[in-house]
């Protein structure tokens, strides 16, 4: 008897279904655990945002290959926050209401992260921000927000420790005139004066965000005859500053510390114009640790994306790993229970052993500074000669952190 066309179709469909089921790795019995990622996926900062998403994706792939979270697969939903607090707020509501995510990783923009934090606090959804702005773990500390990313104060206080070690006695700072730029310069100056009262701060410059011409500031810094300069400029501002500082010969006259200047994007853009021999920090550096965990992480990321992981890759990766570990410990993905499990949780990440302080929800971790150098086989400038300042020296004392959680 000839089969009808319909029977054929059904037959083919069944075979296809069978093939698909055979091909797909562990057949998940349970609903996926959904994790939202909020990051700039369009515009100038999308190159950074994309990497954050890739870091989270790598962690998800590893977790799923090892059986998921509590036997449930992890599913990543990335949404574009356009580096804009209002858009971030809209997107986080969508993630919570429509996608029903268990946690949100991001945003990167400080203002957006604070706006989203108000929302995750109200709706009781976990949040792991990429943003380093201090307020998230001080005045805006809240039960559902936990920060794996190194904070502004950790990096800048680490800078002050390095400055002391370099033995230079007169310092200048230049920092973009917005909350994050102000806070890194202030933490640097304050901590440096604390640990080395003999130091003098000779001048402090506050160019606007997006300044095109740093010439006047550079002249003034050279005139101040400072021995060291602490720089809190980021992204395109940092690229412009380094080029102009080089043109004025500033880099030959003093030792410069670039807060978060280890950004791969900035170093790649600068190429041969990079500030070789000067110091830069990175919240995570792929060469700074020789641990097995780090080696595997760098290798897996490089294999998957043909890129070396930088700080935001690590932040995204480690955030999801912390969530997964806490959920396993709590035997639940219910935000309250996971939050309780996060408090004090200690985890070996590619950066080293990191733990979450229950009082302010900040990950306690060392600060990485290194010298900018050219070295094979890397095609872009990298950091070497690392100075790793221990966590207890760089993390804000508890009487000045976690105010919002008291």
Partner 1 sequence: MDAWFWAAQVLNGIAIGIILFLVAAGLTLLLGVMGMLNLAHGAFYMVGAYALYSVFASGVAGWYGLGFLAVIAATALVGALLERFALRPLYDRPPGYILLATFALVLIFDDLVLLIWGRAYKSVPPPAPFEGALQLGTVPFPAYYALIILVGVLLTLALWLLLQRTAFGRLIRALATDREMVAALGVNVSRSLRMVYVLSAVLAGIGGAMAAPLRSISSGMGVEVVIQSFVVVVIGGLGSIWGAFIGALILGQFSALGILLVPRFAVAIPYLVLVMILIWRPYGLFGTRV
- Residue 258 is a binding residue for partner 1 (CB under 8 A): no
CA torsion through residues 219, 224, 229, 232, sign? negative
- Residue 277 is a binding residue for partner 1 (CB under 8 A): no
Least distance (Å) between residue 243 CB and partner 1: 6
Nearer to partner 1, 128 or 217 (CB): 217
Tokens coding 15: 């075979």
Residue with tokens 């909350």: 179
- Residue 187 is a binding residue for partner 1 (CB under 8 A): no
Least distance (Å) between residue 360 CB and partner 1: 32
Least distance (Å) between residue 255 CB and partner 1: 17
Nearer to partner 1, 31 or 212 (CB): 212
Phi, psi of 116 (to 5 degrees): -65, -35
- Residue 393 is a binding residue for partner 1 (CB under 8 A): no
Out of 100, 165, 223, 400, the only residue in the binding site for partner 1 (CB under 8 A) is 223
**What is the C-alpha to C-alpha distance for residues 245 and 298, in angstroms, rounded to an integer?**
33
**Largest Cα span, the chain:** 99
**What is the C-alpha to C-alpha distance for residues 397 and 357, in angstroms, rounded to an integer?**
11
Determine the 3-state secondary structure of 398 from DSSP: helix
Least distance (Å) between residue 160 CB and partner 1: 24
Determine the 3-state secondary structure of 37 from DSSP: strand
Least distance (Å) between residue 268 CB and partner 1: 7
- Residue 308 is a binding residue for partner 1 (CB under 8 A): no
Out of 118, 124, 244, 403, the only residue in the binding site for partner 1 (CB under 8 A) is 244
**What is the C-alpha to C-alpha distance for residues 394 and 135, in angstroms, rounded to an integer?**
16
- Residue 371 is a binding residue for partner 1 (CB under 8 A): no
**What is the C-alpha to C-alpha distance for residues 135 and 112, in angstroms, rounded to an integer?**
12
**What is the C-alpha to C-alpha distance for residues 118 and 127, in angstroms, rounded to an integer?**
10
One-character DSSP codes across 176-192: -SSHHHHHHHHHHHHHH
Least distance (Å) between residue 258 CB and partner 1: 15
Out of 33, 235, 325, 341, the only residue in the binding site for partner 1 (CB under 8 A) is 235
Least distance (Å) between residue 116 CB and partner 1: 23
| Measured distance between the N- and C-terminal CA atoms of the chain, rounded to whole angstroms | 79
- Residue 310 is a binding residue for partner 1 (CB under 8 A): no
Tokens coding 94: 């969508």
**What is the C-alpha to C-alpha distance for residues 259 and 279, in angstroms, rounded to an integer?**
9
- Residue 272 is a binding residue for partner 1 (CB under 8 A): yes
Phi, psi of 304 (to 5 degrees): -75, -40
- Residue 11 is a binding residue for partner 1 (CB under 8 A): no
- Residue 44 is a binding residue for partner 1 (CB under 8 A): yes
Binding to partner 1 (CB under 8 A): which residues in 203-222?
Answer: 205-208, 210, 212-213, 215-217, 219-220, 222
**What is the C-alpha to C-alpha distance for residues 310 and 289, in angstroms, rounded to an integer?**
13
Question: Do the beta carbons of residue 338 and residue 332 sit within 8 Å?
Answer: yes
Least distance (Å) between residue 384 CB and partner 1: 22
Question: Do the beta carbons of residue 390 and residue 368 sit within 8 Å?
Answer: no
Question: Do the beta carbons of residue 183 and residue 169 sit within 8 Å?
Answer: no
- Residue 200 is a binding residue for partner 1 (CB under 8 A): no
- Residue 265 is a binding residue for partner 1 (CB under 8 A): yes
Nearer to partner 1, 137 or 176 (CB): 176
- Residue 247 is a binding residue for partner 1 (CB under 8 A): yes
DSSP 8-class letter at 169: -
- Residue 170 is a binding residue for partner 1 (CB under 8 A): no
Interface region with partner 1, contact rule CB under 8 A, candidates 141-149, 238-246, 335-343, 371-379? 238-246
- Residue 181 is a binding residue for partner 1 (CB under 8 A): no
- Residue 331 is a binding residue for partner 1 (CB under 8 A): no
- Residue 307 is a binding residue for partner 1 (CB under 8 A): no
* Sequence-separated (6 or more) residues with CB below 8 Å from residue 79: 36, 37, 38, 41, 91, 94, 95
User: Which residue ranges make up the site for partner 1 (CB under 8 A)?
Assistant: 43-44, 46-47, 205-208, 210, 212-213, 215-217, 219-220, 222-223, 235-236, 239-240, 243-244, 246-250, 265, 268-273
């Amino acid at each position: 008897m000839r089969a009808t066309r319909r029977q054929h179709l059904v037959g083919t469909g069944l075979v296809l279904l069978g093939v698909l089921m055979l091909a797909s790795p562990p057949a998940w019995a349970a609903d996926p655990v959904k994790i939202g990622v909020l990051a700039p996926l369009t515009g100038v900062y999308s190159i950074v945002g994309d990497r954050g998403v890739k870091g989270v994706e790598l962690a998800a792939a590893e977790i799923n290959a090892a059986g998921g979270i509590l036997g449930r697969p992890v599913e990543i939903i990335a949404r574009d926050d356009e580096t804009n607090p209002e858009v971030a707020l809209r997107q986080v509501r969508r993630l919570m209401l429509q996608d029903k995510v268990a946690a949100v990783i991001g945003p990167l923009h400080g203002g957006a992260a604070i706006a989203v934090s108000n929302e995750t606090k109200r709706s009781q959804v976990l949040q792991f921000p990429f943003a380093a702005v201090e307020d998230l773990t001080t005045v805006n500390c809240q039960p559902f927000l936990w920060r794996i990313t190194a904070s502004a104060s950790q990096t800048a206080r680490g800078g002050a420790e390095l400055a002391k070690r370099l033995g230079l006695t007169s310092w200048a700072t230049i920092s973009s005139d917005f909350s994050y730029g102000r806070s890194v310069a202030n933490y640097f100056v304050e901590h440096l004066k604390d640990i080395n009262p003999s130091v003098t701060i000779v001048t402090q410059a506050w160019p606007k965000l997006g300044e095109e011409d740093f010439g006047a500031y550079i002249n003034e810094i050279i005139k101040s005859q400072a021995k060291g300069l602490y720089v809190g400029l980021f992204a395109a501002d940092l690229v412009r500053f380094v080029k102009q500082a080089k043109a004025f010969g500033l880099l030959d006259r003093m030792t410069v510390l670039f807060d978060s200047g280890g950004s791969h994007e900035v170093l790649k853009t600068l190429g041969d114009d990079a500030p070789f021999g000067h110091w830069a920090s990175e919240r995570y550096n792929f060469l700074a640790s020789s641990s097995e965990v780090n080696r595997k992480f760098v290798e897996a990321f490089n294999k998957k994306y043909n890129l070396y992981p930088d700080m935001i890759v690590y932040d995204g990766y480690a955030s999801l790993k912390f969530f997964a570990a806490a959920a396993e410990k709590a035997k639940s993905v219910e935000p309250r229970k996971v939050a309780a499990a996060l408090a004090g949780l200690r985890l070996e990440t590619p950066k080293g052993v990191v733990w979450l302080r229950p009082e302010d929800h900040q990950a306690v971790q060392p600060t990485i500074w290194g010298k900018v150098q050219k070295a094979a086989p890397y095609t872009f400038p990298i950091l070497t000669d690392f100075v790793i300042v221990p966590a207890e020296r760089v993390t804000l004392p508890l009487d000045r952190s976690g105010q919002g959680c008291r």
